[in-house]
Structure 1
Amino acid sequence: MLNLLLSTLALTRAAAAAGYQWPSPQYDALEDFLYEGGRPDGSSLGALVSPCRLRGATNTTVAAEWVRLVYHDAATHQIADGSGGLDGSIFFETDRTENNGAGMNNTLNDFSVYPSKYVSRADVIVLGTVMAVATCGGPAIPIQGGRIDANVAGPYGVPNITDSLDSLKGTFAHQGFNVSEMIQLVACGHTLGGVRYPDFPNVVPGSGSQTVVQLFDDTQRFDHSIISQYLDGSTRDPLIVANASAASDLLVFSADNNVTMQSMNSEQAFSSTCSTIFQKMFRTVPSTVNLTDNIDLVPVKVTGVQLTIGSPELQFQANVRLQLSSNHTTVTMYWCDRYGSGANCASKLKRFTAPSTSAPVSSPFSATMNLTLQKYQFVVPLAANQSISKFWFEIDYGNGTTTVANNNGAFYNIDQDAVLFVPSQSRPKAVLSGSNGVFIAAAVKSTNTPSRVYVDWIGRATKNFIAVNGTTDLKLNSSIPSVAGYNFYTAEITEEYGASMQFDVISVQQNGTSLADTYKWDTLIGLNTPAETQVNSTTSSAAGGASGAVAVATAGPWTWSVAAAALAVLSAAL
């Protein structure tokens, strides 16, 4: 029965996977960030906030500062004309009184190195917020991606702590929130952190120390203490008790005679309400922006694919991340040759190997969801006269159940091997003597005579927060000996592109068509690659299946609604 349940769940995942197929560059980048916590090079935004850590020597949390910033970015929204909202304009607005405080600049500094080709500054703000909420005991809030960054400041929009109730209502209404939603946003936003001296010296007395923070409630958790302590009269919230002329929380919380506050006065109600209202805030974007679907977990996730020059010929690298239900899971990668008698698995000829390494991955978000994620890295040598056309995985869960992950039957395809990025011949800018550039090497088949080989690059994590992009031509480099029928083309990119650069290596053929090796990161150059593993061959079954395997594609997003559907299928089968 257990095997039937697992197979049924896998089948239902496949049925729900219609909206996702690898590669899906934007979705893949957002999903990696949300469930693994940061960039592909291991730089972790989640580690800056987890486990609900304090900010330096203060008594407030990093999470509180991150949650404050997301509303201040969204507050520029004008529902009447659809302008403003969560667009990253906050990066250009910290000189305003409404955005004062060390916490704002701390947060911008935390977030500044994480924007990339497919993850905007505004998306980083939302990703950081859900990690902050999760690591401090709050819910795992569903999010979408696809926000577009503004490159200038937006309109003023954050309410002032000395505003009247009518003014507060009007401000939130302009942003698209009614009175009850205003109360929810403020209560959910103020469950973490407090008011810092000297940001608001008329509210919090101090002696000049930046570490003096008067907290909104008695806990450092994302919980309903802000509600319960307000209702029972024990609140310490400085925007209620400290200064009658700056009692904005009191005005907001009591705006509907405490009806909304009473409705949130339990952990379950608070968590659910905050999740709902934060999701609405996250969707507060300019009307010209179309957000993605919810970023659901891809239970079998392929990343880090690189066909390149190895020793002595080609090398293929790929990662697969699994959602584990057993500590006894084993994974095997299979692939088909591109050339020769076994091309495209002719005569059922397949190659296979075990992973080189494996390691757990996590983020505050995935940890809150109690997900166990394991990433397996594969590194194998290939003969140039065989190469690789497509690959897939067989997963043995160690309980009698085996599944085949083959991208919903489409396989994980390697589109071309005529132009390849070569990390081993490239050099990161940090190790280039006397240069601020990065040295890029590409391999092009010597049977090709391209009219142009170039790098199309973008950097979004810049000092002035404005993305830069460009193209750089690569030139034939005869000082690097040819390998396995490939010549090397190189160039140094010296433009200032910020903390990271993503790039495509493109070869333009004589007939005008282009071939590309896409979505590479400069910060991955120079990282150690695990040892290659042994390549084996078999003709035991057709491509995409294995002897005795349940041929189930499991590469689609997984949600609790999918689980419910799976159980319904199981019930009908029994």
Structure 2
Amino acid sequence: MAVNVDAEYLKEIEKTRRDLRALISSRNCAPIMLRLAWHDAGTYDAKKKTGGPNGSIRFKEELTRPHNKGLEKAVAFCSEFMIKPFLRCYYSSGPDNKRLLFPLMSKFWFLISEEVKAKHPRVSYADLYQLAGVVAVEVTGGPAIPFTPGRKDADSPDDGELPNPNEGASHLRTLFSRMGLSDRDIVALSGGHTLGRAHKERSDFEGPWTQDPLKFDNSYFVELLKGETPGLLQLKTDKALLDDLKFHPFVKLYAKDEDMFFKAYAISHKKLSELGFNPPRRIPSAVTEQTLGIAVAAAVVIFTICYEASRRGK
């Protein structure tokens, strides 16, 4: 279904952004929102022109695939009548109970996004999921990522393999090149693992990649260069960034220079969020319309002055 990106739609996007910012900050769900954006976009095939950030992950067939393991259980278990009592229970619990409830809490990303969608029904799922990823990075201290709205929602699930954490560099390069992404993109986007942690019931792995999994910074690369640290995770796909001669220089660069990482990440994230997406040629805005009105009024005034001056000259 086509998205009409008019001034009203842009206003709705900004309202959605504000709601996402408040929701992600209050519920500490930035890692899950970023994962949602990545998984919806990561099915893109540049040759076939299929998949990509089109909201298809909302379909059960895609949601229940192995790389989304465990998420369908939360969606099936919960309803709008159950989520609010659960959230009240979670946020009123002590630290020990929160640790026990966190694995279940982390599976609520789909319902949480539905909460925002219900307030902004005109915004496409595709735009909503990608905007959630952008906001997740920003509210945790990461770079500002330009966001262009107008993505159409798919009407069926996508096919497309996502990265396998048990594979190495050649697997990463094959998958990301299928999407049309480069070695630099692979390393920069891998730095997004500075947010969040793996959960055994979802991926057979457990633990965070960094000391502070709710802060977006370059510590993923710093920890990677240190080698294995007790309590922190390093998957085969992480170690591949060190072993591969083309990946390794980027790891060293981003570990040394956080500003350089932020700049590279913002570029690569935007590319990922726009795979297969052709933005509207002209996006209107209230500012643009106001500026145009002022320009027209000024032109009328100038024409009138010139006309009167020419009359007097005669």
TM-score, normalised on structure 2? 0.71
CA distance in 2, matches of 1:236, 1:185: 24
Rounded Cα–Cα distance in structure 2 between residues aligned with 1:174 and 1:300: 38
Q: What is the deviation of 1:217?
A: 0.3
SS in 2 for 1:180: helix
Cα distance, 1:294–1:226 mapped onto 2, change above 3 Å: farther
Displacement of 1:292 = 2.9
Q: How many correspondences in the alignment?
A: 257
Do 1:89 and 1:154's aligned partners in 2 also have CA atoms closer than 8 Å? yes
Residues 1:278 and 2:247 are matched in the alignment: no
Q: Which residue of 1 aligns with 2:146?
A: 142
Q: Which amino acid letter does the alignment assign opposite residue 265 of structure 2?
A: C
Which structure 2 residues correspond to residues 429-508 of structure 1 after superposition, within 5 A? none
Q: Counterpart of 1:140 in 2: which secondary structure?
A: coil
Aligned counterparts of 1:264 and 1:278: Cα–Cα separation in 2: 15
Aligned to 1:218: 211
* Offset at residue 28 of structure 1 (A): 2.6
Q: Which runs of 5+ in 2 are unaligned?
A: 72-104, 302-314
Higher strand share: 1
What aligned pairs does 1:21-100 form with structure 2 within 5 A after superposition? Answer: 26-37=5-16, 44-50=19-25, 53-54=27-28, 62-92=29-59, 93-100=62-69
Look up the SS of the partner of 2:259 in the other structure: helix
Aligned equivalents of 1:182, 1:406: Cα separation in 2: 41
Q: Tell me if structure 2 keeps the 8 A contact 1:192–1:222.
A: yes
**Following superposition of structure 1 onto structure 2, how do residues 91-240 of structure 1 map, counting pairs within 5 Å?**
91-92=58-59, 93-102=62-71, 105-115=107-117, 118-187=122-191, 189-201=192-204, 203-204=205-206, 214-219=207-212, 220-233=214-227, 235=229, 238-240=232-234
Quick one: structure 1 residues 30 and 192, their matched pair in 2 at CA, closer, same or farther if it must change by over 3 Å? Answer: farther
* Whole-angstrom distance in 2 between the partners of 1:406 and 1:186: 41
As a proportion of its length, which structure holds more helix? 2
List per-residue Cα deviations over 1:291-349 (Å, max 9, x = no partner).
13697985599xxxxxxxxxxxxxxxxxxxxxxxxxxxxxxxxxxxxxxxxxxxxxxxx
- Check whether the contact 1:89–1:153 (CA below 8 A) recurs between aligned residues: yes
Cα distance in 1 for residues equivalent to 2:194 and 2:106:
17
1:120–1:149 CA contact under 8 A, matched in 2: yes
Give the aligned partner of residue 278 of structure 2. Answer: 290
Instruction: Determine the C-alpha separation between the residues in 2 that align with 1:136 and 1:95.
Output: 28
**Conserved in 2, the CA contact under 8 Å of 1:38 and 1:114?**
no
Q: Pick closer, same or farther for the CA change 1:83–1:131 going to 2, 3 Å.
A: same
Among 223, 236, 239, the alignment partner of 1:250 is 239
Give the TM-score, by structure 1 length: 0.41
- The verdict on how the C-alpha distance between 1:36 and 1:117 changes in structure 2, with shifts beyond 3 A counting, is closer
The structure that has the greater radius of gyration is: 1
Contact 1:77 1:83 in 2 (8 A): yes
Q: Report the identity percentage.
A: 26
Instruction: Pick closer, same or farther for the CA change 1:248–1:84 going to 2, 3 Å.
Output: same
Structure 1 residues 69, 200: CA separation in 2 closer, same or farther (over 3 Å shift)? same
Q: Which has the higher contact order (CA 8 A, sep 6+)?
A: 2
Q: Kindly state the Cα deviation for residue 273 of structure 1 after the two structures are TM-superposed.
A: 0.9
Deviations 1:351-377 (A, max 9, x none): xxxxxxxxxxxxxxxxxxxxxxxxxxx
CA positional deviation for 1:159 = 1.6
